[in-house]
Structure 1
Amino acid sequence: MKRFVALMKLTLLISCALWSAQSYSQREISIEASLTIEPTYLEESLVKGREVVNQMVKSGVFSPEPQERFDYLNFHFPEKETRVLGYQLVYFNYEYADKYIGCCINPGAAVVLRLPSNEDDAYLQSVTTAISQEAITFICQGKYKR
């Protein structure tokens, strides 16, 4: 009987390990996941920015190299229309560090989304902002295009 119980425990342990490895390897690699905080490690995203870019390159959404790169940021502009959280993606960016120098790197990711024109005014009126009216007009008229 002890041998049977030990064998069942071992089987259960191996099953849990395989299930855990499978669920980790099959996790969703998406822009939304890169913006979501991992509940166990509150300082990390569910998915790293580089993983998202690799997946989007495979899907034909991003080119392999960022179109813009400065201040530790990689900016990827979609090559075809892409929706994130229901809105059109303007760009995706994440911070990178070829060599860690000891400060100022945030491994997070960010997006800029385009609101439909009929939502621009209502959205901007509902949000208190310190952005100047000229900047708001600039953004809402779609002048920030690649």
Structure 2
Amino acid sequence: MSRRPLRTLLALGGAAAVVALTPLTAQAAPAQGGNYGAYANEGQYPTISSCAGTFRQIGNTLTFEGMSLKYFYSDRCGSFARIENSRQNCSAVLERSNSGAGNADAWVAESVDPGINYAYTKIGNNLNGRVSRALLVCDGHPLLNTGWF
């Protein structure tokens, strides 16, 4: 997967803009930006033993052309985004805001693997006053997003 320099992408602001400019190939690959990784559990998948089984879905499942977007939260670990029934060239994206104001300071994304129709992100730490939201992005365009939680 070819990528533009992170500094160039961050100058554009927001995960949606970054994902829109980052080519999504058939090979799934996590991507991240901003200050993602600054807090506990970030960089880990929600299946890590200390967090497994602690997540619950918050809000309704959102759908677009049969594809689903879900947002999961754990008061111990943070949150993650999951997409289901997705076509190729789509990604689950989680944006995190440090201030709680709903302005993305960090993001993490995961594209759909060949042969499957779902993807989920690594954990975003939206504990202690931080907030996050989930997005479904296909072909570089944000199609769905949840509210900030």
Same fold (TM over 0.5): no
Q: Which has the higher strand share?
A: 2
More helix by share: 1
With the length of structure 1 as denominator, give the TM-score of the two structures.
0.30
Decide which structure has the larger Cα Rg and report it: 1
